[in-house]
Amino acid sequence: MHDIRFIRENVELIREDLRKRRNDAKLEMFERLLVLDSEVRSLKKRIQELRTDRNRLSKEIGKLKKSGGNDSDLVKKANRVNSEIQKVETKTAKL
């Protein structure tokens, strides 16, 4: 099997090769691989965005605590972000 980077860079080449071989089962598997790869990449991007948000919220919470401000709303947001991260990571692991 090819490296996923090679597959991403040569989708049409591989697709055409499978068509020439008239291997519909492998062509279907290949198309499914492309869909799954796209989903995984999208979910990983979402996880990274959520982690960035969580880090930003953590910094803001720290600043508010130092200044004695009310951080309860930010803590709730941070908890929601953490929950969302866990959901997306679980979904990614299932793929």
Angle ∠(95,51,38) on CA atoms, nearest 5? 30
Q: pTM of this prediction?
A: 0.77
Helix axes 24-67, 72-94, angle to 10 degrees: 160
Question: Are the C-beta atoms of 89 and 47 separated by less than 8 Å?
Answer: yes
Residue 55 maps to which CATH number?
Answer: 1.10.287.40
Give residue 38's domain range: 4-94
Give the residue, 89 or 65, on which the prediction is more confident.
89
How many structural domains are present in the chain? 1
Give the residue, 95 or 44, on which the prediction is more confident.
44
Round the average pLDDT of the chain to a whole number and report it: 93
